Structure 1
């Protein structure tokens, strides 16, 4: 059965259709917004998995044909997911994962394929609502529907689902998902926007979300399938009692040990002891699950009933912070930011235009001059594991930190360097991405990058049982794992620059959000104060190991003169040891580790594009001699005529009597006519001899006999 629902949404037609394509999937929708189209299909295995977690996979792919492009790689076809695709898949996963039943462990996959892209309507936000619709009309258990929107702000007014061209003018870029009652997930970046304005943007987003939910309700009422059954585990009262008797008091004491390592060792010993004692009566997996449930229950009760945290801090207290600068002598800028047991080594490296990173996606090829890479080795949490390339988590954390710092990074016109930040997580006990923001800001200032101000980041958590809830400032790893929310906020004293929120419950109210934002702001101001004490402004000079970059903007018509035939001219300039890059808009950049080499190369470029000026004196070279004067090259490729009458103050019979080809001569430009012909004079630079120079010029040569 083909069914279609439609809505005029934010001034453009939005439709959801099912039953025409991908009919063998368990749920599939054809989403169209303007001329952007995505296909979302969901499938789930028919039997439970053997995993001890919910095996959900989200695959998001942007087909290049959607934008009328052929992939730019060697094979000319789509390959592994790009960074953008991984980020969108991760965001969809975070939005839908909390809404599957806890007991449902059937392997489930959600496929998102971008089929058409009109250059204005973002397929990613469309896909998020599409994932909800596909799951809701399927037989897969899912607590939906939910909706997802993008919020921008143009000319002071909030805009729902702004077009890509509107986003270029927006100081807000917020992706929000939610249900009828509340917000589920948030991710966005801002240009130092006030905290209250961000909360207001979330309210605007929720109003738009409700409209999308109502549209899905219409579709579900027509074609929605009955949900499949699955086994709900029954509580084993004997197991609960046995574990509680042997472990309750020990867990209560272990949860109050402030050191992460000591606490983990103690809990591990408790697990081993209880498993051994109960091995004959219960399954090992059941015993482990009950111990974990008891640890979680005790920690949450401690927070809600005693206002006490596992490391002994108050609910609104930030962990101790330590800052070290210039820790790597050869790096252009470096710093170690330590907050409790979370530690980030951040390094800033400056490069030239040749070091920019290419991005090839549906919008075409572009180049980034500011980038941040985040690395999270296993040793940072005292574990072993597979050593591999950065995964979705590392990419996501790096992009979040990059977005947080980008608003304070100077433009290329003011600071013509490519900037790469790298964050090496040396220790982690939650909020390593926010430590990366802090460490990255410190490294940039240490490198002498003229950023506007420091940017700090902080994590805020939530524990909620019924109507009782508590917000936690600067959460630990256990509080993140056993809690209900992970809210990361980054910003300056002037406003917020980035946000990310994931929750493990059905949604949170705006009352909780307001409290969480207030706690985050207090934490940010505290951290910013410590960072400003360490280094209050960017260093006044760059590292001696950083390249020196000079730039000049020339007339694009003169690019050929700089490059030369077959690149001959530019290669001759680079013989100085500098690197020269030329952009299509006429921007010429000279990069060199040696300042003198850079200045020499830039001088050669300036000479190539310089225009002669009347009244200016030039050191030229005689290129050609005629009966009526000498042609002198005063600039590369620029010759002028020094007439025979302008060579000396007295009469000159032959030009060769004064000048010869190849000779260096100083001349002055006395005129440039409408056709660009240059008139030069040598005699105006020579002092007149004593006596009547005119009489000397009129004397006849002696007669020949």
Structure 2
């Protein structure tokens, strides 16, 4: 049976339909907003998977036909998920995962963008669709959730702004939540004040409440009965035996200040307990390991909530020690190592030309990025052995977060015409490596001499809460992230925020908690910015000697063909000087070279190619042709003018060849250009006038002839 609901949101109609397509899935939602259509389906296995975690997979795919386009790759079909698709899938996963009851049932949420109108964002539509599809299915879920994108134009908040409106907005934030709490946040800002971002939370949550009610109404009419959640019964006897064996030693391990010492001690303890209980509890390794994990988790949380202390000995609002090293890599154009506790990022900046921009081919069409940040997380950074591979979802997500954080302070292309690539290599990791990448990336840019507006830093805070109490933790460790309830990251400058991301493991957090978390994060941010300013307060005044030099000139677009030449002959000859030349359709020509002299030489050639002769200006030219009435002299590439025989000398010239021959070089002055563009030249106006009495006398021995 087909069921459909509609509501007005942001001045447009949002609709959800179910029961018409994908009926064999456990749940499906056909979402429409304007002419943007997204199909979200969900399927869950009937059997439990033997996995120690909830096996949720979110797959987000944008079909190119949705925007009336054919994929631009060689095979002309969609392939592996793009960076954008990966980021959208991560956001959906982080928003819905906390609301599934503890289960080992393998679950998949599949999002397909079927139509895109160029204005309405499919990713936020997909977030609402994911909630609706799971709510309509028989899969247990503690939803629904609502999702909105927030913008702000001229001080006014806009719910679900169009792509055109986002171009004018200083806020671009996606907010997800339930009717009484916030679940996920991801946003980028142009140095927006902290309290203004918090106001955006409140505005967005009001819209979320309406979306939650909207979904509930449809679920009441069309939702399937939910499966029964079978809670795994705890073996109390085993739990007591394990607790008696390990509790005191776990407490000792949790109070060791060094991560490696804690991990080694707990690992040895687990091995001892498994060996001791092997005969009494055979084949119960997983259960014993789970009991030790829970005891470790409860003790760490108790330290924070009861004793107000942390496993590394810091106070709840203390930032780990920060150290900074600049110019580490002699051949990179800029480099820095940023270390905070046991988290360390080596960041390198490379400058390139327009030819080095990164192409993005998505539903909005092809575009080119001139600033990019890539994040690498090798396994050695956490002391593990893993098979090396390309960047995964996590690396793509962390790189995008750091890139968006720094981008608002990167100079515009017309001010700094370089392509900029920052790479963050994580050398050590104990939480908040993405925030270390923001700090290190900002420092590497300044070390490279990139004139960024102001330094950007990043800081993370966590949360531990039970039914009655909660504590916010500044600059969390990996264990505090893993065993805690929230990971909130903010990035910004002294003047405002540039980015935010929040993931939680519980059903939501209140505005009261968020307010405290923001204050703690801002305190950490200011502390780190102070440390960065001590290391380098402003960008270096000059670029690295190994960085390319870029010169540019804007020409009349109608003259682009002259610069390129027949079959590219002219531009190739220019590049033989030792430069790279980029020509834009609007007439902007960029010359890139490592050798500054070669760049200037190439620019001189280009200027001469496109320069128009000016009356009264002197040129050095070459005689191309001689006639009875004068000489045709090339004063600019492809531009000849006539120097009449009467304009060759102050005396009367009998034959042009007596003064100039083909191939001679001579200086001439433009004395006129007629309506048809014909150029009149004079040589004699540049010569000293004859002395009195010499008049028309012809000099002996061919005096006055041009250089051969």
Query: What range describes the TM-score normalised by the shorter chain of this pair?
Result: over 0.9
**Aligned residue in 1 for 2:67:** 67
Output aligned runs, 1:502-521, within 5 Å.
Answer: 502-521=503-522
Secondary structure of the residue aligned to 1:119 is: coil
**Aligned residue in 2 for 1:208:** 207
**Aligned residue in 2 for 1:455:** 456
> For residues 612 and 317 of structure 2, what CA distance do their matches in structure 1 show?
65
> For residues 314 and 27 of structure 2, what CA distance do their matches in structure 1 show?
47
**Aligned residue in 2 for 1:5:** 5
> For residues 170 and 678 of structure 2, what CA distance do their matches in structure 1 show?
52
Residue 165 of structure 2 is aligned to residue 166 of structure 1 = yes
Deviation at 1:222, TM superposition (A): 0.4
> For residues 657 and 290 of structure 1, what CA distance do their matches in structure 2 show?
108
**Aligned residue in 2 for 1:194:** 193
Deviation at 1:672, TM superposition (A): 2.3
**Aligned residue in 2 for 1:157:** 156
User: Given that residues 38 and 114 in structure 2 are in contact (C-alpha distance below 8 angstroms), is that contact kept between their aligned partners in structure 1?
Assistant: yes
Residue 472 of structure 2 is aligned to residue 468 of structure 1 = no
**Aligned residue in 2 for 1:99:** 99
Secondary structure of the residue aligned to 1:668 is: strand
**Aligned residue in 1 for 2:299:** 298
Deviation at 1:538, TM superposition (A): 0.8
Gaps of 5+ in 1: 698-705
**Aligned residue in 1 for 2:643:** 642
Deviation at 1:279, TM superposition (A): 2.5
Give CA deviations for 1:604-656 in whole Å, capped at 9, x if unaligned. 11111112122211101111222222221111111122122211111222222
> For residues 175 and 299 of structure 2, what CA distance do their matches in structure 1 show?
32
> For residues 696 and 455 of structure 2, what CA distance do their matches in structure 1 show?
77
Deviation at 1:85, TM superposition (A): 0.7
Secondary structure of the residue aligned to 1:233 is: coil
**Aligned residue in 1 for 2:566:** 565
> For residues 401 and 467 of structure 1, what CA distance do their matches in structure 2 show?
35
> For residues 601 and 181 of structure 1, what CA distance do their matches in structure 2 show?
64
Output aligned runs, 1:494-643, within 5 Å.
Answer: 494-643=495-644
Residue 211 of structure 2 is aligned to residue 218 of structure 1 = no
User: Given that residues 26 and 43 in structure 2 are in contact (C-alpha distance below 8 angstroms), is that contact kept between their aligned partners in structure 1?
Assistant: yes
> For residues 155 and 682 of structure 2, what CA distance do their matches in structure 1 show?
62
Deviation at 1:694, TM superposition (A): 4.5
**Aligned residue in 2 for 1:54:** 54
Deviation at 1:660, TM superposition (A): 1.0
Give CA deviations for 1:495-541 in whole Å, capped at 9, x if unaligned. 11111000001111111111111111111111011101101111111
> For residues 230 and 9 of structure 1, what CA distance do their matches in structure 2 show?
35
TM-score scaled by length of structure 1: 0.98
Deviation at 1:218, TM superposition (A): 1.2
Give CA deviations for 1:559-579 in whole Å, capped at 9, x if unaligned. 001000000000111110111
> For residues 563 and 310 of structure 1, what CA distance do their matches in structure 2 show?
66
- Segment drifting more, 77-86 vs 676-685: 676-685
Secondary structure of the residue aligned to 1:322 is: strand
**Aligned residue in 1 for 2:229:** 230
Give CA deviations for 1:383-418 in whole Å, capped at 9, x if unaligned. 112221110000000000000010111111111111
> For residues 467 and 193 of structure 1, what CA distance do their matches in structure 2 show?
33
**Aligned residue in 2 for 1:408:** 409
Deviation at 1:240, TM superposition (A): 2.1
Secondary structure of the residue aligned to 2:78 is: coil
Residue 41 of structure 2 is aligned to residue 41 of structure 1 = yes
> For residues 28 and 413 of structure 1, what CA distance do their matches in structure 2 show?
48
- Segment drifting more, 602-611 vs 231-240: 231-240
Secondary structure of the residue aligned to 1:671 is: strand
Deviation at 1:236, TM superposition (A): 2.1
Gaps of 5+ in 2: 699-708
Residue 428 of structure 2 is aligned to residue 438 of structure 1 = no
Secondary structure of the residue aligned to 2:607 is: helix
User: Given that residues 352 and 549 in structure 1 are in contact (C-alpha distance below 8 angstroms), is that contact kept between their aligned partners in structure 2?
Assistant: yes
Deviation at 1:693, TM superposition (A): 5.0
> For residues 45 and 322 of structure 1, what CA distance do their matches in structure 2 show?
49
Give CA deviations for 1:218-255 in whole Å, capped at 9, x if unaligned. 11010111111232012222122112211111111111
**Aligned residue in 2 for 1:254:** 253
**Aligned residue in 2 for 1:126:** 125
Deviation at 1:676, TM superposition (A): 2.4
> For residues 217 and 499 of structure 2, what CA distance do their matches in structure 1 show?
35
User: Given that residues 345 and 424 in structure 1 are in contact (C-alpha distance below 8 angstroms), is that contact kept between their aligned partners in structure 2?
Assistant: yes
Secondary structure of the residue aligned to 1:538 is: coil
> For residues 394 and 666 of structure 1, what CA distance do their matches in structure 2 show?
63
User: Given that residues 416 and 549 in structure 1 are in contact (C-alpha distance below 8 angstroms), is that contact kept between their aligned partners in structure 2?
Assistant: yes
> For residues 664 and 261 of structure 2, what CA distance do their matches in structure 1 show?
84
Deviation at 1:675, TM superposition (A): 2.9
User: Given that residues 650 and 696 in structure 2 are in contact (C-alpha distance below 8 angstroms), is that contact kept between their aligned partners in structure 1?
Assistant: no
User: Given that residues 642 and 682 in structure 1 are in contact (C-alpha distance below 8 angstroms), is that contact kept between their aligned partners in structure 2?
Assistant: yes
Deviation at 1:696, TM superposition (A): 4.3
Give CA deviations for 1:247-298 in whole Å, capped at 9, x if unaligned. 1111111111110000111111111122222233331111110110010100
> For residues 674 and 583 of structure 2, what CA distance do their matches in structure 1 show?
31
Give CA deviations for 1:160-195 in whole Å, capped at 9, x if unaligned. 000000001111000110000011000011111111
Secondary structure of the residue aligned to 2:74 is: coil
**Aligned residue in 1 for 2:485:** 484
User: Given that residues 649 and 693 in structure 1 are in contact (C-alpha distance below 8 angstroms), is that contact kept between their aligned partners in structure 2?
Assistant: no
Aligned length: 696
**Aligned residue in 2 for 1:22:** 22
User: Given that residues 652 and 696 in structure 2 are in contact (C-alpha distance below 8 angstroms), is that contact kept between their aligned partners in structure 1?
Assistant: no
> For residues 696 and 260 of structure 1, what CA distance do their matches in structure 2 show?
100
Deviation at 1:678, TM superposition (A): 1.9
**Aligned residue in 1 for 2:702:** none
Runs of 4+ off more than 4 Å: 693-697
Root-mean-square deviation (CA, aligned residues, Å) is: 1.0
> For residues 310 and 394 of structure 1, what CA distance do their matches in structure 2 show?
27
